[in-house]
Amino acid sequence: MKKIKLSSIIILLLTAVIVSACCNCGQKQENYLQGEIVVVENEPFTRLALKLNNNAVYFLECSDALNKELRQKQGSFYSVMFRESKIENGIPVLVVEEAVPVKQ
């Protein structure tokens, strides 16, 4: 009888630990930055970038459709949701999921 109670308690504790450890599973970490859409570097190798209020510049890596839309909206302010940031040649790059215009 004691073995059954002990094993039940152990199973219950293990289940609680597993559930609490997986609490954030499936949730995306969403990161947002707001700034002005600009194009940097020289033709024909221009790149989209986001210029923040503190003059920090982040290159934007996004889908072709979003790239085309943002290039047409140069000088506009956007809120950019990115899933990942990385460094390329010493410059921060944001992998953009979504961009939403911000009214100034």
Q: Which CATH number fits domain 31-101: 1.10.10, 2.40.50, 3.20.20, 2.60.120?
A: 2.40.50
Residue-by-residue DSSP string for 46-97: -EEEEE-TTS-EEEEE--HHHHHHHHHTTT-EEEEEEEEEEEETTEEEEEEE
pLDDT for the residue numbered 92: 95
Q: Where are the domains of the chain?
A: 31-101
pLDDT for the residue numbered 7: 78
Going residue by residue through the chain, which has 104 residues, state the pLDDT in tens, using 9 for 90 and above: 777 877 778 777 767 666 665 555 555 556 899 999 999 999 889 999 999 999 999 999 999 999 999 999 999 999 999 989 999 999 999 999 999 999 87
